[in-house]
C-alpha cells in the first residue's frame, strides 16, 4: 500500500528480526508480511492451516512481539513513513518512542530528526497483543460494546481498528496475526511531495471535464502541470493545494466488463519536478434510487446506461498477509471477470485493498462496491475512536477515489441489523442507535470531505438513508442480504419468493474441492464428521445444513469424494436459482452479488473459488448463469416460463427450443419460439408443467443473434426423484501442446458432469449436462507442465452407482 506520488526514499521493507517479548522466539520476518507466516517459515510453529493446528496457535495473539532492524544514516533529517501497521503498536527509534498507533488501515509519517544519529540506528516496532488491547479498551469503555459472537471466537476485535475477520469469522481461521501490511521507508524531511491526486469527472454530451485537485507538501508557489489525453492544464500550488481542469471532447469511455472496453488514460502530474501518475478511466457511474410503487429502485447507471451488477463479495485474499501477492490477487479477480462478473463488493470485515487490487479492477472492468471496514458488531463512537476513523476514511478515500472501478462507498456491513443481535442493544436500542449514527455520520462526512460527488450508501444492507428497518427481509427498496435459504434452512425455491432490488449478499456453502482438502487433511480424516473437517467449518451447524440439504434434494452419496462433489453441485444449484430468478426480474432487480468469491484459507464456505484460486463448481456455473444473454426457466403457477435476459447494449434476438427429456435420453418436442430482447427480461416460451411426465425434465436450448448459445435443464422434482440411468461416459484425452482436450461421450443423459485433475490448473467448463451421443470437449490448462490424470464425476455415479 505504498502511497503514490511521494518522493523516493530509503526502502526499509525486506528482512527484519522478529522476537517475542519473552525472548522465547527469534527469526527473520519479511515486511510487508506477518509474524505468523514468519514463525512458520522459520520452523517455530507448524502450518497454521493444517489439521486442527489453529487452536494450538492462538497463544501468538496473546503475546507482544517485536520486529527490529538496523539502518545506517548519513543524513538525520528523515521521516519514517509506514502504512498498514497491524495494529496496536509502539515504534521506537534508537530506543525512543516515536509513535504509538492503533489503526491498520492508516499510514503514518514520523519526523525522526530528534532521535536519528549518524551511522547505525535501530528501529523497532512492538506489536501489542490485540487480545489484551481489545479487552482493555472494552473494560475502559463507559458502556458495553458487543462484538459479533457468532463470528469472532476471539473477543473485542471491534474495539480495535484491525481487520475484523482476524478475530475469526464464520469462514475464517482466528489467529489475530500481526505485522506490517504496507510500505516502510525513510524520506528526507521537508522534501517536496504530492500527497493526493483527487479526481472528479463531470460528463455531458460527448464531453468530460476532469477536475484534478493536487494536495502537495513543500511545493507552495510551484506550478502543477497536468496532462491527460493530449490536454494540459496548469495551476500554482497555494496552501498545499492546486486545482486544474482538463476538458476532453469525445472521450474514449471506460465500461464495466461486458459493456464495452476498459479504456484507461494516463494522467501525468508534475509539480516542481515531483511527479505523480494515475491511470484514469473516463466514465460516469450513478447510483440510481428512484421511488416507485414497490419502494425504490437500486442500481448503477454507467455512462447513461443502466447496468445490471453481476458479481460476488470479496474477503481478504488470505488470512495471513504474508501469503498475499499481487499475482494471486490478480488471478482471483481475473476469475471473477472470466465468469462475466462486472462488480466486486469489498466487504467491510476485511481491509481496504492495496492499489494493485483497484488497478486490476480498472483493467478488468470490475466495478467496486467499497465498504468501509466495519462489520457485524457494535463500535465505539467516543471522540478518540471517531478521530481515528476520520483519518482512516479520509486517507483511503483520497487513495482510491480516482479509480474508474470505484462505483460506490458504503458505510459498513450489517451494522444496522446488529442493533438487534445483542441483549445489550435490544435493551437500550436508543443508546446504540445514536451511537451507530455518530459513527455512520462520521464516516459519511469524512468521505464526502474528500470526494463530495461520490456515490454513498449508508450500510449494507440498507433500505436507504435514515431507514433502520430489516434489510434481510424487506425487498421493495435498498440493497438486500437474503440469507433465509442458508441461515434459516428454507428450500431453494424460496429464492423465488422475493424480489430484491439489488441483492448484495446471499450464499450457500459447499466443501472445498478435494485438491484444497488435501492441503489440510490426511486421507484418514476424509470424513464429514472428522474433527479435522469440522475444524475447517466455522459456521455453527454449517455441515449439518449441507447434509440436510443433500437429503432434501439428492440420494445420499456413498463416498467422501462424492459428498464433496455433491456439496458443490447443490451450492451451484442454490446460487444459480437465486441469480437466474433475480436476473429474470430485470429491471425490477438490478444486481446480484453472491456471497462469496474467495476463501482466506482452505475451509467449508460459501466461496466459489477455493483457497488458491481453483474454480469450485459454483464458479463454473456462474460463468454460465452470468452470461450476458441468458434464457432461464421460471416456474409460475401451472407453467414453466422460459424468460430471456440480455445485458448487452443492443437488442438480441433469441430462438428457443424446448423438449421433454426422459431419463433414457429420448425427447418429445414441447415447442419453440423466438423473441427480441432489449434491456428488460421478457417471456419467450411457456411450457405447461403438466406436459412433463413424472420421470421427465424440461430441456431447452437457445441461440442468440449475438452469436451466443446455451442450453439448460429444469427438473420439476428434486433430483433424488429421478431414476437416473448409468450414463456410461467414454473419455478420450489428447494433449495438444500443453492444453489437454478431454472429449466425453455419454450413452444416457448425464447431469453435472465434472472433471477433476490430479494437478492444479483450469478447466474451461464443468458441471455440465451431457445428452446421449452428443460429445462435449473440455479443455484443461495445467499450471505447471505435469501430466494430469482426470477423474470424472456425475450425478448418477455420485449418488446411484
Helical (H) or strand (E) element with 427: helix 423-427
CB closer to ligand BMA out of 121 and 156? 156
Q: Are 214 and 264 within 8 A, CB to CB?
A: no
CB closer to ligand BMA out of 121 and 608? 608
CB closer to ligand BMA out of 412 and 624? 412
CB closer to ligand BMA out of 217 and 547? 547
CB closer to ligand BMA out of 595 and 601? 595
CB closer to ligand BMA out of 399 and 481? 481
Q: Are strands 406-410 and 367-371 parallel, antiparallel or unpaired?
A: parallel
In the chain, DSSP finds a helix count (H) and a strand count (E) of 16, 45
Q: What is the smallest separation between the CB atom of 172 and ligand BMA, expressed in angstroms?
A: 8
Q: Which residue in the shown chain puts its C-beta closest to ligand BMA?
A: 170
CB closer to ligand BMA out of 254 and 372? 372
CB closer to ligand BMA out of 222 and 414? 414
| CA distance linking residue 451 with residue 453, whole number of Å | 6
Could you tell me where the beta strands, DSSP code E, fall in 372-460? 406-410, 456-457
How far CA 595 is from CA of 79, 289, 762, in Å, comes to 42, 23, 22
> Which three cell numbers, joined as nine digits, stand for 498?
422475493
CB closer to ligand BMA out of 505 and 561? 505
Q: What is the smallest separation between the CB atom of 418 and ligand BMA, expressed in angstroms?
A: 10
Q: Are 684 and 672 within 8 A, CB to CB?
A: no
Q: What is the smallest separation between the CB atom of 609 and ligand BMA, expressed in angstroms?
A: 15
CB closer to ligand BMA out of 87 and 413? 413
| CA distance linking residue 345 with residue 336, whole number of Å | 12
What is the contact surface with ligand BMA in residues (CB under 6 A)? 169-171, 375-376, 413-414, 481, 505, 595
CB closer to ligand BMA out of 401 and 413? 413
Q: Are strands 223-228 and 207-217 parallel, antiparallel or unpaired?
A: unpaired
Q: What is the smallest separation between the CB atom of 515 and ligand BMA, expressed in angstroms?
A: 23
What are all long-range contacts of 688-693, with beta carbons under 8 Å and residues at least 24 apart? 688/638, 688/639, 688/640, 689/635, 689/638, 689/639, 689/640, 689/716, 690/638, 691/660, 692/660, 692/716, 693/660, 693/662
Q: What is the smallest separation between the CB atom of 175 and ligand BMA, expressed in angstroms?
A: 17
Q: What is the smallest separation between the CB atom of 595 and ligand BMA, expressed in angstroms?
A: 6
Could you tell me where the beta strands, DSSP code E, fall in 404-540? 406-410, 456-457, 480-481, 503-505
Residue of 133, 178, 179, 175 lying closest to 538 (CA atoms): 175
Residue of 76, 82, 83 lying closest to 112 (CA atoms): 76
> Which three cell numbers, joined as nine digits, stand for 355?
492499489
| CA distance linking residue 457 with residue 517, whole number of Å | 38
Q: What is the smallest separation between the CB atom of 361 and ligand BMA, expressed in angstroms?
A: 20
| CA distance linking residue 465 with residue 457, whole number of Å | 8
Q: What is the smallest separation between the CB atom of 735 and ligand BMA, expressed in angstroms?
A: 41
Residue of 10, 28, 30 lying closest to 325 (CA atoms): 30
Q: What is the smallest separation between the CB atom of 434 and ligand BMA, expressed in angstroms?
A: 24
| CA distance linking residue 532 with residue 282, whole number of Å | 50
Q: What is the smallest separation between the CB atom of 539 and ligand BMA, expressed in angstroms?
A: 6
Q: What is the smallest separation between the CB atom of 748 and ligand BMA, expressed in angstroms?
A: 38
Amino acid at each position: 500500500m505504498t502511497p503514490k506520488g511521494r518522493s523516493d526514499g530509503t526502502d526499509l521493507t525486506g528482512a527484519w528480526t522478529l522476537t517475542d517479548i519473552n525472548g522465547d522466539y527469534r527469526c527473520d520476518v519479511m515486511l510487508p508480511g506477518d509474524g505468523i507466516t514468519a514463525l512458520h517459515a522459520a520452523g517455530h510453529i507448524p502450518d497454521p492451516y493444517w489439521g486442527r493446528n489453529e487452536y494450538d496457535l492462538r497463544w501468538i495473539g496473546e503475546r507482544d512481539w517485536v520486529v527490529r532492524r538496523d539502518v545506517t544514516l548519513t543524513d538525520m533529517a528523515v521521516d519514517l513513513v509506514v502504512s498498514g501497521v497491524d495494529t496496536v503498536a509502539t515504534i521506537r527509534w534508537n530506543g525512543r518512542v516515536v509513535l504509538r498507533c492503533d489503526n491498520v488501515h492508516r499510514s503514518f509519517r514520523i519526523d525522526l530528526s530528534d532521535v536519528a544519529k549518524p551511522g547505525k540506528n535501530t528501529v523497532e516496532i512492538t506489536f501489542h497483543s490485540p487480545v489484551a488491547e481489545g479487552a482493555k479498551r472494552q473494560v475502559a469503555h463507559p458502556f458495553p460494546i458487543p462484538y459479533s459472537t457468532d463470528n469472532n471466537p476471539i473477543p473485542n476485535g471491534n474495539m480495535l481498528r484491525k481487520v475484523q475477520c482476524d478475530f475469526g469469522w464464520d469462514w475464517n481461521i482466528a489467529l489475530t496475526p500481526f505485522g506490517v501490511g504496507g510500505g516502510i521507508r525513510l524520506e528526507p524531511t521537508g522534501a517536496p511531495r504530492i500527497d493526493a491526486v483527487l479526481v472528479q469527472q463531470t460528463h455531458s454530451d460527448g464531453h468530460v471535464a476532469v477536475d484534478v485537485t493536487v494536495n502537495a507538501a513543500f511545493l507552495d508557489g510551484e506550478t502543477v502541470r497536468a496532462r491527460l489525453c493530449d490536454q494540459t492544464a496548469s495551476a500554482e500550488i497555494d496552501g498545499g493545494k492546486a486545482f486544474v481542469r482538463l476538458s476532453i471532447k469525445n472521450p474514449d469511455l471506460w465500461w464495466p466488463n461486458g459493456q464495452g472496453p476498459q479504456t484507461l488514460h494516463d494522467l501525468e502530474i508534475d509539480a516542481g519536478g515531483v511527479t505523480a501518475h494515475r491511470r484514469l478511466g473516463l466514465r460516469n457511474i450513478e447510483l440510481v434510487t428512484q421511488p416507485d410503487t414497490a419502494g425504490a429502485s437500486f442500481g448503477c447507471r454507467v455512462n447513461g446506461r443502466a447496468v445490471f451488477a453481476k458479481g460476488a463479495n470479496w474477503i481478504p485474499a488470505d488470512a495471513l498477509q504474508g501469503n498475499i501477492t499481487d499475482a494471486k490477487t490478480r488471478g482471483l479477480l481475473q476469475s471473477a471477470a472470466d465468469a462475466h462478473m462486472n462488480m466486486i463488493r469489498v466487504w467491510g470485515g476485511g481491509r481496504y485493498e492495496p492499489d494493485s487490487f483497484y488497478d486490476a479492477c480498472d483493467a478488468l472492468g470490475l466495478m467496486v462496491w467499497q465498504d468501509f471496514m466495519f462489520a457485524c458488531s457494535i463500535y465505539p463512537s467516543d471522540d478518540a475512536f471517531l478521530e481515528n476513523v476520520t483519518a482512516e476514511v479520509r486517507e483511503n478515500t483520497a487513495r482510491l477515489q480516482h479509480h474508474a472501478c470505484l462505483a460506490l462507498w458504503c458505510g459498513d456491513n450489517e451494522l444496522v441489523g446488529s442493533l438487534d443481535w445483542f441483549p445489550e442493544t435490544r435493551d437500550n436500542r436508543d443508546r446504540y442507535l445514536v451511537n451507530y449514527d455518530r459513527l455512520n455520520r462520521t464516516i459519511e462526512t469524512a468521505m464526502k470531505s474528500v470526494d463530495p460527488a461520490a456515490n454513498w450508501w449508508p450500510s449494507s444492507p440498507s433500505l436507504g438513508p435514515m431507514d433502520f428497518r430489516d434489510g434481510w427481509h424487506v425487498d421493495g427498496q435498498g440493497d438486500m442480504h437474503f440469507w433465509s435459504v442458508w441461515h434459516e434452512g428454507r428450500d431453494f425455491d424460496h429464492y423465488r419468493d422475493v424480489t430484491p432490488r439489488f441483492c448484495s449478499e446471499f450464499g450457500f456453502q459447499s466443501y472445498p474441492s478435494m485438491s484444497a482438502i488435501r492441503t489440510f487433511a490426511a486421507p484418514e480424516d476424509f470424513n464429514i464428521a472428522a474433527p479435522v473437517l469440522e475444524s475447517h467449518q466455522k459456521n455453527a451447524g454449517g455441515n449439518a445444513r449441507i447434509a440436510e440439504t443433500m437429503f432434501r434434494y439428492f440420494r445420499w452419496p456413498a463416498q467422501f469424494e462424492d459428498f464433496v462433489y455433491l456439496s458443490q453441485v447443490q451450492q451451484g444449484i442454490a446460487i444459480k436459482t437465486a441469480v437466474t430468478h433475480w436476473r429474470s426480474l430485470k429491471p425490477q432487480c438490478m444486481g446480484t452479488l453472491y456471497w462469496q468469491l474467495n476463501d482466506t484459507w482452505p475451509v467449508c464456505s460459501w466461496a466459489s473459488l477455493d483457497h488458491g484460486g481453483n474454480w469450485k463448481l459454483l464458479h463454473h456455473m456462474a460463468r454460465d448463469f452470468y452470461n450476458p444473454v441468458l434464457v432461464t426457466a421460471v416456474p409460475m403457477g401451472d407453467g414453466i416460463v422460459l424468460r430471456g435476459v440480455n445485458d448487452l447494449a443492443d437488442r438480441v434476438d433469441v430462438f428457443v427450443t424446448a423438449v421433454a427429456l426422459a431419463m433414457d435420453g429420448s425427447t418429445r418436442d414441447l415447442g419453440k419460439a423466438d423473441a427480441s430482447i432489449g434491456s428488460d427480461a421478457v417471456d419467450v416460451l411457456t411450457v405447461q408443467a403438466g406436459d412433463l411426465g413424472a420421470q421427465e425434465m424440461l430441456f431447452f436450448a437457445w441461440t442468440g443473434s449475438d452469436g451466443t448459445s446455451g442450453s439448460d435443464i429444469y427438473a420439476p422434482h428434486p433430483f433424488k426423484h429421478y431414476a437416473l440411468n448409468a450414463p456410461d461416459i467414454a473419455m478420450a484425452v489428447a494433449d495438444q501442446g500443453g492444453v489437454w482436450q478431454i472429449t466425453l461421450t455419454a450413452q444416457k443423459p448425464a447431469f453435472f458432469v465434472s472433471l477433476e485433475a490430479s494437478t492444479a490448473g483450469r478447466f474451461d467448463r464443468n458441471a455440465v449436462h451431457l445428452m446421449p451421443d452428443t460429445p462435449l470437449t473440455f479443455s484443461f490448462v495445467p499450471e505447471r507442465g505435469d501430466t494430469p490424470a482426470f477423474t470424472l464425476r456425475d450425478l448418477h455415479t455420485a449418488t446411484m452407482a
